[in-house]
Amino acid sequence: DVKVTQSSRYLVKRTGEKVFLECVQDMDHENMFWYRQDPGLGLRLIYFSYDVKMKEKGDIPEGYSVSREKKERFSLILESASTNQTSMYLCASSYRTGVRSGANVLTFGAGSRLTVL
């Protein structure tokens, strides 16, 4: 069964701490994504990566950075956590789409619920 695995389901951190959220996929997908999910706001894209060492900003990158040193692993980093970063974080992956390819499918992990005190 193909999987996207997020290392931590629940984390509690203090303001100012550095936080790492890890995501690993076993499907040899080129694309990987980090979304943030908040009630009433839906899913918002933080960063995505379409290849090793490549990254692109999404809609809300401020306060976050990412790392992709290996194809299967995509890390989200909060350099100095703040209370407004308390949220559910979802990692996803997909094959790279071509200009004329059919609809592609994102496969999501179970999510990491982060609380910043």
User: What residues make contact with another protein under the rule CB under 8 A?
Assistant: 4, 31, 33, 35, 40-43, 45, 48, 50, 56, 58, 90, 92, 94-100, 102-106, 108-111
Q: Which is nearer to another protein, 18 or 27 (CB)?
A: 27
For residue 76, the minimal CB distance to another protein (Å) is 15
For residue 103, the minimal CB distance to another protein (Å) is 4
For residue 37, the minimal CB distance to another protein (Å) is 8
Per-residue HEC secondary structure of 35-90 comes to: EEEECCCEEEEEEEECCCCCCEECCCCCCCEEEEEECCEEEEEECCCCHHHCEEEE
Q: Which is nearer to another protein, 18 or 57 (CB)?
A: 57
Nearest by Cα to 49 from 66, 64, 31: 31
For residue 61, the minimal CB distance to another protein (Å) is 13
Phi/psi at 85 (nearest 5 deg)?
-100, 5
Is the Cα dihedral 77, 27, 50, 85 positive or negative? negative
Q: Which is nearer to another protein, 78 or 90 (CB)?
A: 90
